[in-house]
């Protein structure tokens, strides 16, 4: 018996060893989810297997070489295809329009493009702004004015994002009748990071567009996206996906998760944004040029523009008073007033909560207003656009 087993094992040693090792790889990877460690173990397997290979005379064995090259390349194509297919189907960052699984990290720019593409009809009114304008509800705009609206505001926005979205709309033959811009001092103060990679950059110029089209497919073969896909699948299997801090409705309205008290949420923002206005020192001229471009194009299309400056939570406002914020806010106001004289748009300053009936409780955190506060501001801004006005 032992002899038979020895003989059998001798004949099947290599496949057995390989199978066992690959099983070990899978177990290790599932347990640790560390791609580099998986890679090292595969490296070890290849190294040790090659170490024990009988030295051949490969020059005389082209068949061996052909097998090696063709099999390696065939496996490579197969594996690359599998990884790309996994990332495409799971779509962890919402890069593609389909949503078989919910993206694990919401990319507001991609999401807004996708939502707009799926929107039933072209909106009459569009909201531009940062996450501080997420809660300007299109439904409220429609109720107040009868105009169908879409909220195109995105996180960490700058006026270049407004131009990009206008380009995106115009590519579809749309241009809104009303443009509502929630303009903050953060948007027009330097420096802004280079965001050549974001989903809007392709709508700023043609080179970016072509690059982005290619990039979204090239990124199917990146470690970042593969790990995110695996994480997404894991969350799906565990049915334990944490809710994102905000999500978007079909009309672009942002709704925030309120998992902690307002006081704690404000404290968090005090930590995150603590020195923001110590670091910001001046207005960003290129961004102001983008704002001017929006105004020029609105004027050319006969669209009405409404610009408003949204408020901070009073605690946040008080915190920033010690920094460059008051000066930069003044400079922003003066710039907007100068532009108002030139272009004749409506300008509203909501930085003083009391002036329009807002309260410190109408916030999700230190910077993001609730829909209720958003509605108060919309009511002020859109009063003369009411159907009965």
For 181, the 3-state DSSP assignment is strand
- Residue 85 within binding range of another protein, rule CB under 8 A: no
Q: Which stretch binds another protein (CB under 8 A): 39-47, 194-202, 298-306, 313-321?
A: 39-47
Closest CA to 143 of 354, 375, 331, 389: 375
- Residue 80 within binding range of another protein, rule CB under 8 A: yes
Give the nearer residue to another protein in terms of CB position, either 27 or 190: 27
**Which of 11, 23, 30, 40 lies at the binding interface for another protein (CB under 8 A)?**
40
- Backbone Cα Rg of the chain: 28
- Residue 26 within binding range of another protein, rule CB under 8 A: no
Positive/negative CA dihedral, 369, 373, 374, 378? negative
For 11, the 3-state DSSP assignment is helix
- Residue 43 within binding range of another protein, rule CB under 8 A: yes
- Residue 35 within binding range of another protein, rule CB under 8 A: yes
- Residue 286 within binding range of another protein, rule CB under 8 A: no
The torsion angles phi and psi of 330, rounded to 5 degrees, stand at -60, -45
- Residue 22 within binding range of another protein, rule CB under 8 A: yes
As a whole number of angstroms, the distance between CA 41 and CA 193 comes to 38
Closest CA to 201 of 109, 119, 332: 109
**Which of 7, 117, 170, 222 lies at the binding interface for another protein (CB under 8 A)?**
222
Distances (CA, A) of 35 to 27, 45, 241, 314: 12, 15, 22, 46
Which helix or strand (DSSP H or E) is residue 334 part of? helix 325-343
Q: How many residues bind another protein (CB under 8 A)?
A: 55
- Residue 83 within binding range of another protein, rule CB under 8 A: yes
As a whole number of angstroms, the distance between CA 178 and CA 23 comes to 61
- Residue 36 within binding range of another protein, rule CB under 8 A: yes
Are 204 and 286 in contact by the 8 Å Cβ rule? The answer is: no
Give the nearer residue to another protein in terms of CB position, either 49 or 321: 49
- Residue 49 within binding range of another protein, rule CB under 8 A: yes
- Residue 37 within binding range of another protein, rule CB under 8 A: yes
**Which of 39, 191, 286, 357 lies at the binding interface for another protein (CB under 8 A)?**
39
- Residue 193 within binding range of another protein, rule CB under 8 A: no
Give the nearer residue to another protein in terms of CB position, either 13 or 257: 13
- Residue 213 within binding range of another protein, rule CB under 8 A: no
Question: How many helices (DSSP H) and strands (DSSP E) are in the chain?
Answer: 14, 7
Q: Which stretch binds another protein (CB under 8 A): 53-61, 175-183, 296-304, 332-340?
A: 53-61
Q: Which stretch binds another protein (CB under 8 A): 55-63, 97-105, 279-287, 294-302?
A: 55-63
Q: What is the DSSP letter of 259?
A: -
Are 33 and 235 in contact by the 8 Å Cβ rule? The answer is: no
**Interface residues toward another protein, by CB under 8 A:** 14-15, 18-19, 22, 32, 34-51, 53-56, 58-59, 61-62, 64-69, 71-76, 78-80, 83, 218-219, 221-224, 226
């Amino acid at each position: 018996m032992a002899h038979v087993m020895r003989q059998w094992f001798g004949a099947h040693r290599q496949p057995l060893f390989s199978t066992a090792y690959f099983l070990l790889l899978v177990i290790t990877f599932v347990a640790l989810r560390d791609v580099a460690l998986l890679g090292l173990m595969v490296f070890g397997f290849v190294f040790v297997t090659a170490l024990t290979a009988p030295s051949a005379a490969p020059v005389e064995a082209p068949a061996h070489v052909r097998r090696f090259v063709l099999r390696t390349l065939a496996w490579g194509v197969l594996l690359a295809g599998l990884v790309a297919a996994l990332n495409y189907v799971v779509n962890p960052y919402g890069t593609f329009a389909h949503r078989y699984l919910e993206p694990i990290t919401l990319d507001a720019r991609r999401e807004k493009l996708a939502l707009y593409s799926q929107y039933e009809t072209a909106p009459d009114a569009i909201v531009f702004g940062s996450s501080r304008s997420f809660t300007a509800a299109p439904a409220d705009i429609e109720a107040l004015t009868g105009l169908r609206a879409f909220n195109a505001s995105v996180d960490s926005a700058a006026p270049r994002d407004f131009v990009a979205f206008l380009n995106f709309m115009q590519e579809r033959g749309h241009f809104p009748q009303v443009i509502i811009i929630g303009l903050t001092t953060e948007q027009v103060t330097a420096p802004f990071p280079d965001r050549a990679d974001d989903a809007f950059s392709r709508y700023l110029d043609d080179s970016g567009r072509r690059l982005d089209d290619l990039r979204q497919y090239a990124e199917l073969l990146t470690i970042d996206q593969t790990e995110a896909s695996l994480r997404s699948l894991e969350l799906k299997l565990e049915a334990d996906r944490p809710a994102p801090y905000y999500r978007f409705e079909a009309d672009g309205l942002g709704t925030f998760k309120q998992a902690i008290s307002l006081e704690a949420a404000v404290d968090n923002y005090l930590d995150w944004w603590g020195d923001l206005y110590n670091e910001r020192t001046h207005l960003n001229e290129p961004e102001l040029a983008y704002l001017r471009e929006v105004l020029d194009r609105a004027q050319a299309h006969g669209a009405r523009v409404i610009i408003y400056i949204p408020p901070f939570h009073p605690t946040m406002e008080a915190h920033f008073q010690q920094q460059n914020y008051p000066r930069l806010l003044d400079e922003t106001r003066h710039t907007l007033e100068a532009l108002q004289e030139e272009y004749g748009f409506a300008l509203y300053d909501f930085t003083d909560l009391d002036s329009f009936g807002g309260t410190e409780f109408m916030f999700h955190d230190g910077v993001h207003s609730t829909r209720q506060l958003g509605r108060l501001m919309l009511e002020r801004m859109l009063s003369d656009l009411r159907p009965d006005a």
